[in-house]
Every structure is written in structure tokens, then in C-alpha cells.
Amino acid sequence: MSNDVIVVGGGVIGLTTAIVLAESGRRVRVWCRQPPQESTSAVAGGLWWPYRIEPEERVGDWALTSLRVYEELTLKPEETGVRLVDGLHAGARLGGLGPWAAEVPGLREGPEGLRARLPLIDMPTHLGWLERRLVEAGGTVEIRDAERLPDAPLVVNCTGLGARGLVPDPQVRPVRGQLVVVENPGIREWYTSVEDEGEESTYFMPQPYGLLLGGTAQEDDWNLAPDPATAERIIARCALIHPEIAEARVLGHRVGLRPVRESGVRIERQLSPTGGALVHNYGHGGAGVTVAWGCAEEAAALATTPSG
């Protein structure tokens, strides 16, 4: 069987899957519409935590596998973009989490919610590091817009929201996230609130490039343009937690479309119409970073399973 693999999709899911395959001896080519640092993954807040992802019974194992990897990567934060940062999930309770929570070091419940020291990932830096690691393993990244999944002996589909048209899979749909980047007025801990309802939420993440404020969860909204009124509300909500945020200089705005799938993440192998192997790894919603390595290992294992 040929060692060649085409991975379609250059976000965090595609790159981690490509790395696992390349480091196992495969010749890997990644096809992506834009450079990885311009993908949806680059917009993510970057906090390790299962969020808007199904199926619940499988997410824990994927997330814990990824957590162990990120803990190792915190040894070189400037290079990998991964740091361990303290913070608060306001209003969250241990009883509302799955068995995976018992495996998270230092996760503890207090009057305000859950406190933890978790990986917080500077996504543009991390995506650059992933791409370099792939290249060092012999892989390549090609900027090309695939109108259809390629006809090749082995293809891994990590196209995220693109899977809606490429597979096609009508279960995949966008959940729009808008964020604001401001100068950090000295905040060192991340914060999220589970008490928000509807399309708007409150969270902030201290990143090397500034304080990332969020956010929104607007279902079936394809609009990639930042909305000024939404940005103002995001800043106002975050300023209720830290008033100094209200006066922080705005550095930029970000919008990303989370690739949510109604029945959850799809990791599955099937025959292509020409008899090749097609492995799917998409539908990670708002937690692609959180489960990336666990899903990559499972998808790569399916990709290396002999046919027949």
C-alpha cells in the first residue's frame, strides 16, 4: 500500500492529524484554502476545555489525550504558543461535567465556580509551530482550494465547515463567534461564564498579543464581518468583571465560524467511489483545539488500517 496521504484542511485538526501520520512514516501533503494561520483555528480563544462538542461519551478521552500533549508543549511556550494559565469558569460545577474532569490536575470547585490551571494557546503562534513540525517530519502544506475531495488512494478529510459541501454533509453548520482584541490592562487570568444565555457570552483570555474578549455563539450565521454593536456589548460584558477593560485600547476584531455537526464529531473510514480509503475527521464545534490530538490519533489509526 502507498505511503502517500492527502490531508484536506489546514486548521488545527488537519495539521495535528498530518503530523501524527507523517511522524509514523507516511508521506503527507496538506491541502488548504489559505495558510494555516489564516484558518478558523487562528481565531479561536485557545483555552483547553470541552465546549460545544459532541458526542459527550467520547469527548473526554480525546480531550485528555490532547491535554497531556499540551502539558508537554508548555515547556517551550514561546515556541509552541502553549502556556498554563490560571482562571475561573464562573458558575460551573463539577457535578455538571463528565468523568474526564477527575483527570484534570488542580480542577476544583469554589463559591464562584470552577478554578483550574489550564493550557491557554496562542493560536497563530501554535499553528505556525504545527506547520514547522509537519515540515520537519517530511510533510508539505499546499495552498489550493479543493472543489471536491481528491481522488487518491488515501485521503483524510479535515475540512471543518467545508465538509458541508465537500462530503456533502448537511449536518454541518456554522456557529458564529465574534471576539475583540484589546490592550491588556494587566489581567493575568482567563475567565468564562456559564451563566450567559442565548447567543452572547462573556469570556476573556490573556494572550501575548493582547487580551482576547468574547463572545458570541450565533447559530447558522455565515457573516464573517465584525459587527460594531456586538463588539461594544462584548467589551461592556467583560468590563462588568474587570472595569479597566472598558478603557482598554481596541487592537482588532475577529470572527470565526465554529464547525458544529448535529450528531457530533465524525471520525470514520469509508471507501471512496474509486476504491481508495477516505477517512473523515470533522465536526469539532467549539473545541477543535481541545480534542485535536486525541482525534488525530484515532483518525490516523483508521488511515493506516489495511484495506479489506
- pLDDT, tens digit, for every residue of 251-270? 999 999 999 999 999 999 99
3-state helix, strand and coil shares in percent for the chain, rounded to the nearest 5: 35, 30, 35
Residue 149 has pLDDT above 90, yes or no: yes
pTM exceeds 0.85: yes
Residue 308 has pLDDT above 50, yes or no: no
Buried b (16+ CB within 10 A) or exposed e, 255-264: bbbbbbbeeb
Grid coordinates of 250: 481596541
Q: Do 190 and 47 contact (CB within 8 A), yes or no?
A: yes
- The whole-chain average pLDDT of the chain stands at 95
Reported residue count of the chain is 308
Residue 107 has pLDDT above 50, yes or no: yes
Q: Do 287 and 56 contact (CB within 8 A), yes or no?
A: no
In angstroms, the CA 276 to CA 279 distance is 10
Q: How far is CA 15 from the centre of its chain?
A: 11
- pLDDT, tens digit, for every residue of 45-80? 999 999 889 998 999 999 999 999 999 999 999 999
Closest CA to 12 of 160, 139, 168: 160
Q: Which amino acid is at 73?
A: L
